[in-house]
Amino acid sequence: MRRRPVNILAVLGTRPEVIKLAPVLRLVKKDKKFRLRLCATAQHRQLLDQTLRVFGLKPHLDLDLMRPDQCPSEILSRTLAALQGVLRKEKPDILLIQGDTTTVWAAALAAFHEGIPIAHVESGLRTGDLKRPYPEEANRIFTDRLSSLLFAPTPLARKNLIEEGIDPRKIFVTGNTAVDSLLWVLKRPRPWTCRTVASWAKKPGPIAIVTLHRREIFGKPLKGLLRGLLKTVEKNPHWRWIFPVHPTPQVSKTAQRLLHHPRILLAPPLDYLDFVRLMKRCDLIVTDSGGIQEEAPTLGKPVVVMREKTERPEALDRGNYLAGISGKNLERALSIKLKLPKCNPFGDGRAAQRIVAAIKSWAGL
Ligand code: UD1
Ligand code: UDP
């Protein structure tokens, strides 16, 4: 029988990691069988702080690693170097990470070097193409390979892992914690924080949300997409478009230069509560985000996925439509998309409970 609590070190660095780890951290924090330490790499600075505030999370350690316009190798090397010291000092029984960012891959590799077991939330997502999304597909494969506990959100993710030779005893199908977080927020309605978005949302008429940030669209594809968006806006005079712009300079500078239209609102990144409220209000989402592909089906909202491949095919043609990354496809996608039947294959809001139960069982509790 285990006498001391299980020391969990959770490492996170970006907005989606906070959103998707928060439900697990909430359960771990209130369970006396665990001692939780939270380390923020701050791969994201403003987006991380904005999201931590929403969930009332305060990291014990903050490595403050973000630099303007960083590239994956820079953030990887800074994170790997900094985490070695953290892991040696904290000596966790297990490292808890979520997703496929550079923070996640660096944390997994650092833990592997220190001989610390890894619990990976959202394992097994694959497009089968190392360049899409880039570099996340590689990050996922490497991280899963090193993990001792793999929390696959869906049966398809489990199948992907088994096909790569991962021991099925390490894999748990849990649902995606994105759904847990979304349902948690829906139970806590709150007034809008962003007044401009609030005033647009309150006016009647159809609204589409746009979010774009993937590295594989930087440069020419992004310009093509935004030009396609402008044409689509012109052709649909009753629609208004809200684009919370990701702060990555490759996106924010291009969007601010190209998107001038009275029916397009370029907004700052919205805090998660505002963003969920906006998703509930909207009629359509055009995005290359991973998390939004899981949230929108839960809210019954149609999504045009501006990517060539997705690691979340479960909802394709049942709410989510894969449109590629050419601006020309956008208009066609919109007409098909709005007619698709809806489904929600990503979870039931109890993924975090299953994850915590599996960690307890692994620790012999
Ligand atoms: C990262 C993840 C991506 C995830 C996305 C979530 C990697 C390789 N990519 O992409 O998987 O989908 O986060 O949003 O890990 N910036 C700020 N403030 C912020 C955040 C970013 O100014 O709060 C700017 C900085 O100039 C930074 C740049 O954006 O250098 C890029 O940030 P980075 O985390 O490297 O990549 P993302 O594109 O955000
Ligand atoms: N999101 C948010 N505010 C925004 C845009 C997105 O809170 O202005 C949330 C969204 O609901 C989802 C997550 O951020 O939960 C997705 O993050 P992002 O698209 O940056 O990363 P990805 O999911 O593609 O890794």
Max CA pair span of the chain: 67
What is the domain partition of the chain in residue ranges?
A: 6-175+350-363, 195-335
Residue 49 binned pLDDT confidence (cut-offs 50, 70, 90): very high
Res 57: pLDDT: 98
Q: What is the CA(230)–ligand 1 centre distance, in A?
A: 25
* Dihedrals phi, psi of 11, to nearest 5 degrees: -120, 130
Q: What separation in Å is there between the alpha carbon of 298 and the centre of ligand 1?
A: 25
User: From the CB of 79, is ligand 1 less than 6 Å away?
Assistant: no
Tell me, yes or no, if the two domains 6-175+350-363 and 195-335 fold the same way.
Answer: yes
100 is catalytic: yes
pTM exceeds 0.85 for this model: yes
Q: Whose CA is nearest to atom 14 of ligand 1?
A: 15
In this predicted structure, the answer to whether residue 339 has a pLDDT above a threshold of 90 is no
Question: What pLDDT shows up at residue 13?
Answer: 98
pLDDT digits (tens, 9 = 90+) for 198-219: 999 999 999 999 999 999 999 9
Average pLDDT score, the chain:
96
Token match 């009647």: residue?
A: 204
Q: What is the pLDDT of residues 56-76, one digit of tens each?
A: 999 999 999 999 999 999 999
The percent of residues above 90 in pLDDT, for the chain, comes to 92
For the CA atoms of 324, 326, 332, 334, the dihedral, rounded to the nearest 10 degrees, stands at 70
Homologous superfamily in CATH for domain 6-175+350-363:
Glycogen Phosphorylase B; (3.40.50.2000)
Q: Name the percent of the chain lying above pLDDT 70.
A: 99
Residue-wise pLDDT for 68-99, tens only, equals 999 999 999 999 999 999 999 999 999 999 99
The Cβ-side half-sphere exposure at 331, using a 13 Å CA radius, reads 12
Tell which phi-psi region holds residue 42, choosing left (phi > 0), alpha (psi between -120 and 50) or beta. Answer: left
Give the number of C-alpha atoms closer than 13 A to the C-alpha of residue 334, restricted to the C-beta side: 21
Q: Which ligand is nearest to the CA of 305?
A: 2
Is the shortest distance between the CB of 16 and ligand 1 below 6 Å?
yes
pLDDT at 336 over 80: no
Of 248, 251, 252, 272, the one to substitute when testing ligand 1's pocket (max ligand atoms within 8 A of C-beta) is 248
**Domain range 195-335, its CATH number among 3.40.50.2000, 3.40.1190.10, 2.60.120.260, 3.40.50.720:** 3.40.50.2000
Distances (CA, A) of 134 to 150, 315, 348: 22, 21, 29
Note whether 312 and 125 are within 8 A (CB).
yes
Identify the band that residue 329 occupies on the pLDDT scale cut at 50, 70 and 90: confident
Q: Is 144 a catalytic residue?
A: no
Is residue 251's pLDDT more than 70?
yes
Distance CA(365)–CA(362), nearest Å, equals 8
* Omega prior to 345 cis, within 30 of 0: no
Distance CA 31, CA 190 (A): 28
